[in-house]
Structure formats: C-alpha cells, structure tokens
Amino acid sequence: MIFGTSIPNGQWFDSLPSCEAQVPCGEGRHPVRWEAGSFLLPEHPDVEGELVLAALGGEKSGCVEVAEAWQRHGADLSVLAIGPRHPADEIVVGWDDVAAARPGPVRLPGSLGPPGPAVAPGPGGLAQHGLMRRAGARPASMAALGARRRQMQAELELVERRRNDMLSLLALGYGFQVRLAGQVAVAHEEAADERVRPALVAAISGRLAPVAEEWLGIDPGQVVVSLHTGPGWGSVELTGRGEERRLRVSLPAGWLARVWACGMALTGRHLVVAVQRAGWPDARVLALRAPGAEPVELDVHGAAGTGDAPHWEVRGA
Amino acid sequence: MNREGAETYLRLLGESELREPLAAGVPQAWSGGPGGSIARMMAVAQALIAVGALDAETARDILGNFELAAAVRRAQGTQGAPGAPGARIGSVTRPGAIRFAGGARGIAEGVLRAWPARSMPGVAQPSGGIQGAEGAEGPPAGGPDRFVAVGVTVPFDRGEVHLIWYTHTAAGARFKVMWRTREPDSGRSRLPGVLPIEEFSAADERGGRYRLHVTAQGGPEWTVNLDVHPEPPDDISWLDICAPGGRKTRVSLNATDQANPPGPPGPPGPSDPASAPGAAPEIREAKVSPGEHLLNMLAVRLLTIAPEFPHDLRLQLAAVSPGPLTNAAAGLGHVIAALEAADVLSPLSPVPGRLAALCASLRVSGHGITAPPARDLPEPWLSLLAHYHRRKPESAPTSDGCATLAAVLPELDGVRLALLSLDNSDGSTVLNVLANGLAPDGHGAASAVDMHFSLSIWVHDSGGRWHATRPSNWHWADSECVLTLHLVPPLAESATWVDVLAVGQSAEVRVRLPLDWGYSP
C-alpha cells in the first residue's frame, strides 16, 4: 500500500535510495518503507479499509498510525527544527521510548475524570491570594472558565499528539528523518515568504554550518545564511578576518532536499550547491571547490552508508 | 520593526545552542546544556514578545521544538548507549517531566504575552472613563471612576477598621481597609483576628443602605477590600459606616484625587518639574526605543534583586548556585542582539553600555554584553547603586504605617494606574496601585522580563533618594488589579512627600504627592 503520495515533492528524491524500518504493529513488528518519495506499508494492503474499521471503534494499527503521522507532518517546519542536522547528530528514539512517552489522558487540575498528569494552572491564575476567596463566582464567569478549560484540554491533546507524532517519526531512524526533512523543505520552496523564511534560514544554517566547518575549518558560528530566491543556485563568499570572518551563504530551500537530504552536501571536498541531474547511484552536481569560486559540474557516485545515509564520491577522482 | 529578523534570531540562537554539548540539566540560565539553553531562549523570546517583535504563538512553537530537539539529543548523550532501550526519551518528554515542556503549554499560558498596546498619555481624562479590559462590563453609567483617599478609622466593639481608600469603578464600589481586633484578655491589638464584616452596614445621605463584603484582594493578611453592595450612586457625598456595637462613623467621599485637584492645573515650572505636592501630573514624551525601554526594565530588575543578594552572600552561595541575580543577567547579550535584529534597538544606543556598567558595579558576570561599560548612568540607578554599596540604608522606616495617596495617573502605554497607598511594614515598603488595562495573565512567572507589567515605577522621596519598584503581588477583581510594588530601598518614614515617576515606552508621568503617615496596624 502506498501512503503519502498526495504531497507533491517533485523529483528531489531521485538521488536517494529506498530505506526501511520496523514498526511495532499489533503483537509484532512490521516493515515500513520509503521509496521514491512515498511511504509504503507492505503489510497493509487495505489501509482505507483499516481506517474505516478504526473509525467504527476498531484499533488502528501501529503502521497506519506512523503513516498518518508521516502524512500529517509532510509540510511541518517543526520537522526541520527537531530533526538531525548531520549524520553524526544521531537522534536515538526507540519504540520503547515512544510507548513510554505516551501518557494517559491529560487532565487539568480540578477537572473530573481519571487520574492523569496534572498541568499547571493556566492564565488567570485560578489560585487566589489573600485572606478569603470571593464568595461566589458569576455564572457567566463559570461558563467562561469551563469553555477555557475545554479549550486548554483540546490544546493540550493537540500538543500531546504532535509530540507523539514527532517521536514516532524520529523512531523510524536517520534515513527516514532526512527524507522527511527533504519533503518538508520541498513543500515550502515555492512559497518561501516571510512566514516561513526564518524557519528555512535556521534549517539551512543548522545543517550547512557543520558542513562548512568540515569544508573550510570555519567556526559554525561564523556561517551566515540567507535564503536565495530567483534564478541561479545562490552564492557563497568568505569575508573578514579573525573573529570578523564570515562565510556568507545564500541558498534556496530546495538545497535542503536535493543536496543535504540526499547526503551529498560535501562531496569530494566540494560544497555541493545544486543538483543538475538527480539519480541513484549516479548523479551530476554543481559544486564549489572554494568560496567565491565558480561552481563546477561533478559526476558523483553514491553508495549506501551507515544509517541509510548515502555516501557520495566524485567519479574518477 | 523587523519581525522576520526577530524570529530568525531566536531560531538561529536555537541552532547555536543545539551545536553546544548537551547535558542533562535544569533550566537555569547560568547552567550549560539544554536547561541553560532553554532559559536563554526564553529570555530572548520574552524580550521579543514584550516589544511586539514576535508573537507568542510563534515563540511557543520555536521553544517547544527546541525543547524536544534538546531532549532527544540529551537522552542519547547522557543516558546509556545509543539505541539502548529504556525510558530515556519517555522520561524527559512525558508532559511535566521537562520543566518547560508541556512547556509548550506552560510557556504558552502566562509567560509569553505581549505588553499592552502603547499609547500616548494625556488623551484620556485622568480621573474618569477607565475602560475595563476585554470582557469587562462598562463603567457605571453616567459617572466617572472615583478614587478617594479616606483615612478614617471606624472603631467597633472588638477592634477597629481603618478605611484607606474608596474606589468606584466599572468593577464596583469598594473600600480598601486594614483592621485589627483586640485580644480578649489584654485588649492589645496584635493579630488581625476575624473581621465580623457581616455585622457592618453602611448608609448614604439619601437613605440608601448597603452591606459590606470582604473580597479576596489584599496585601498583608490584615488588609482586604470591602465591596459595597448594592452599588451606590456615583455622586453620593458620604457614607455612614455602622459598626457592631452601634457606633456610626461618617466617611466623606468628597476628597479629591491628589494628582488631579479641582480647578485648572497650571503647568509645572521648569525648575521644579514636579511642582508642589498635589499638583497635576507632569507628562513627558519618552525618547527611548522599545528596546531601550525593555533594557531599562531589565536594569530595574537587577537593581531590585541586588540588595537581597550582596556580593559576599553570592560568593558564599556560589558553590550551590549563582543565584537569581546572575540568572537575571544571563543572556542579556543575546537579548540585546535580538532587539537589534528586530530593529527596536539601535546599535548606537547607550543603554547596553549602561547595563554593562551596572553589571560591573554589581559584580555580575556571564551577561554576555559586548558593549563597553558606559560612564553616564542615570541618576536613579546611581542612587540605588550607592544604596547597594553602602550595604544598609541611611535611614530605615522607623515604624509601620500607611500613607494614603489616592492619585490617578493618566493612561500610559494602555495602562491606567491609581496610586492608593504606601505601606511600611516589617522594614519594607510597598506601593499599592490599582491598575486597569492589564490582562489577567502573564504575571508570576520567574522570568527575566515581566510580561505583565510594561511600566517601571520609580519613587523619589523628599530626602533626595530614589527607590525602584518591583511587582510582588497581584490581586484581581474583574478587569482591575490591585498591584503591590515592592520599593527598593524601603522608604524612610521621615519622607514628607514623594515624586512617583511612571515610565512607559511612550512617555513618562511624574506626580508629587504629600505623605501623611497615618494608621499603623
């Protein structure tokens, strides 16, 4: 069953091999697979049927829950804020962790219902100072308080589900994490307005800085990133000296997907700034030998690395 | 204002913090690891929200994501081998396990909110037309708000009640009172005891009769608000308070607002800006940017915390924790950089240098301010620093007492303040104010920026000393808040008048008020 193909992600993934992970499902574990931009559930040929049963009160399978989380967060910029910055930035979240982090119903103090984690009082400070409390609250105030409680409860559950989603997606492992990051970046590359620019700039900065450190030996804090829009691949220049030294980089959001997520950001001592012909295991990229230099075309060849992170070499080098 | 720059700065700070080695830790600004990182990011987020450069929802998302990002890395880095099963992540991501998580909610509710909308004072009538906050009922039809300094003691068979002030606003009519009861055996009045308020009643000159109800507001335990029910007419001249035992005490409600006496107020003279006690408030347009105003507020915070944590005490406690003074200063460099990124603080502003000088004078390190220390500190700062370095005040309050004020200030940054009383008790001084225009959330958080109160209130006494204030208690009644401001240093009872200076982002208001130290509980 193919799940998640509704999110358009172009061909950014052509330079990525498929990857697979095991997910707790029912009494055992099932494989889930990422292939050519799609999230696949090989053990669940009739997902739609399962969802109907779940809507009628049946239990949703673990595989389907993860697939739904994948779909829910396919354009969620939080994925870039939480996920890995580089292969050594290993995030180890196991399925035991996901299960342990899944609490019972979140309960607000003073509300009825089964015991659950208590949450600090919200605004308005239910606690009162002073000698005694007001003798009686107005009915309107009580109604407003009830509505606010319900709103807070709903928000808490949303936060809860979002966190559980994130942990589940992280539990899939590095290969899935970078592929989801690529999908998110592509989802925003065409409309990188002021609402998403800060998140994209931070996402590129956080991923480019360690690459630049390896490339030039520059302090990651001296890498200044801006978002490139329009034609061309962007720019990379080195300015200043000593503490004033800065590597000023302007790249498009798509770089995160087409280059970084595919594991080819630093290939053969070159900073890869664009992909001219995507493909696996062979591709052609545009790369810089040094800041300020003209980019050169490189034919690169990929091989499976550890943790589903491809490793690329320049062909003939 | 560059909101995109503000958000980008906070996000990039998060990236920078994540590059640092992460270790388990509590969220304290001085500590390394995610705890310190979160505290620093909180400080920056609060600052950006306070000046309106970042909305709270975005800040919640950024901080929530950072918290989770740090948690999944910390779990790996500090507990067991990667991949080892267990409750590593669960233990830190379950709601409430991380201090700030769920934090997305804890942060969300209360800590992160914008200061009130800014407005120039002088537009609204100083003594009338206070509009309630959102959802509040309007003011009493046909009448302006009323603030009366009462200063009348009502004896009753088991003690006495001292009426400090009377207010009649959209939230109703009420007295602020202090009381004491006599111990049966000695007749001495030591403890407040129980106020038999159900045995009190009131009557006005038109024959209207009222009951009095104790409400939850108050400062010390022997001070409460007495609501008057039903709501009396706006224009009554007096109320007779009928006490248990049959005594009747007449309370005149014709006293005038000290800051707005009847008749056309003359403009204050340039050589004596506050003019005589009881003169109209002086209003000046502020010439500071939003970022400078915020930094000045942070300076006040440092100045008011410092006396409680002198340097020798900090040295003794250093092994345990650097304490709240260092905590308050931590991340200031980032806050300044963020304000500059948001274009609400000029790189040429002198205020960061003043903050650096203040930190140096208080011997607080770790603030991260890169500006060189300035030499031209404001006079109030110097006054407080002199007090701090003397270690003890030149003159302490001689005895407990209360001076009623009942002065209403013009609206400032969307906030209306009525100055109610100055209370000396147990060697400390508090200024009680009634505030309109505050939202009933945001206070009480142990944060670098008070997200609730956007004004700084200074007191300059007749002896020439300056006193900074720090909000210490909030008591809400519908849309109004009785706010207790703790004065640092305490006010000497020898003071015969005070200038109260309320500084907002848009303007500052100064009013001179005579002090008549009266009732002592």
pLDDT per position as a tens digit, A64-81: 999 999 999 999 999 999
What count of residues does chain A have?
317
Most confident of A6-15, A120-129, B334-343, B411-420: B334-343
Shortest CA gap B90–chain A (Å): 4
Residue A120 lies in a domain: no
Domain tally, chain A: 1
Q: Does residue A47 form part of some domain?
A: yes
**0.95 exceeded by pTM:** no
Residue of A nearest to B226 (CA): A134
Flag whether residue B123 sits within 8 Å of chain A, measured between CB atoms: no
Instruction: Determine the Cα–Cα distance for residues B282 and B275; give it in Å rounded to an integer.
Output: 9
Confidence category of residue B341, pLDDT binned at 50, 70, 90: very high
With respect to residue A75, please indicate whether it lies within any of the assigned structural domains: yes
Q: What is the CA radius of gyration of chain A?
A: 24
Sort B99 into a burial class: Cβ within 10 Å, 0-12 / 13-18 / 19+. Answer: middle
Q: Is B226 helix (H, G, I), strand (E, B) or coil?
A: strand
Does B227 contact chain A (CB < 8 Å)? Answer: no
Given a cut of 60, whether residue B188 has pLDDT beyond it is no
**CB contact B76 to A (< 8 Å):** yes
The per-residue pLDDT for range B377-404, each reduced to its tens digit, is 999 999 999 888 876 544 555 567 778 7
Flag whether residue B34 sits within 8 Å of chain A, measured between CB atoms.
no
Tell me if A119 and B95 make a contact (CB, 8 A cut-off): yes
Q: How far apart are CA B241 and CA B339, in angstroms?
A: 54
pLDDT at B75: 55
Position A67 in a domain: yes
pLDDT score at A193? 83
Q: Read off the pLDDT of residues B133-182 as tens digits, 9 standing for 90 and up.
A: 233 333 344 456 787 878 788 888 888 888 877 888 887 898 888 777 76
Mean pLDDT score of chain B, rounded to an integer? 74
Check CB contact under 8 Å for A92 and B15: no
Q: Does B93 touch chain A (CB under 8 A)?
A: yes
Helix (H/G/I), strand (E/B), else coil: B365: coil
Quick check: B93 and A101 CB within 8 A?
A: yes
Check if B216 contacts A (Cβ < 8 Å): yes
Low-confidence ranges of chain A (pLDDT < 70): 1-10, 103-142, 317
**Chain A contacts of B61, Cβ < 8 Å?**
78
Nearest to A14 by CA among A285, A291, A290, A292: A285
User: CB contact, 8 Å: A106 with chain B?
Assistant: yes
Residue B450 has pLDDT above 90, yes or no: no
**B519 forms bridges with which residues in the sheet?**
none
∠ at Cα A314 (A308, A317), nearest 5°?
A: 135
B348 closest CA partner among B383, B366, B374: B374
Q: Which of B69, B73, B216 is opposite residue A132, by nearest beta carbon?
A: B216
Q: Between residues B276 and B365, which one has the greater pLDDT?
A: B365
Question: CB-based contact (8 Å) between A199 and chain B?
Answer: yes
Q: Which residue in the set B3, B89, B444 is minimally distant from A167, CB to CB?
A: B89
pLDDT for A21 equals: 95
Q: Which chain A positions have a beta carbon within 8 Å of B106's beta carbon?
A: 119-120
In this structure, is residue A94 part of a structural domain?
A: yes
Residue among B251, B248, B250, B244 nearest B181 (CA): B244
Tokens representing residue B284 in the block: 């000046």
Res B195: pLDDT? 76
Does residue A310 sit within a domain? no
Structure tokens at A177: 């994490």
B521 pLDDT higher than 60: no
- Residue B198: its chain A contacts at CB < 8 A? none
A145 touches chain B (CB under 8 A): no
Residue A26: give the domain boundaries. 2-104+155-183
- A42 in a structural domain: yes
Give chain B positions within 8 Å (CB) of A100. Answer: 87, 89-91, 94
Which residue from B minimizes the CA distance to A195? Answer: B4
What strands, in cross-sheet order, belong to the sheet with A311-314?
A: A266-267, A270-277, A282-288, A296-303, A311-314
In a domain, residue A54? The reply is: yes
Tell whether A87 is within 8 A of chain B (Cβ). Answer: no
Per DSSP bridges, beta strands B209-215 and B201-204 are antiparallel
Answer yes or no: is the ipTM higher than 0.95. Answer: no
How near does any CA of chain B get to the CA of A224, in Å? 10
Q: Residue A62's beta-bridge partner residues?
A: none
Which residues lie closer than 8 Å to A114 by C-beta, 6 or more apart? A104, A105, A107
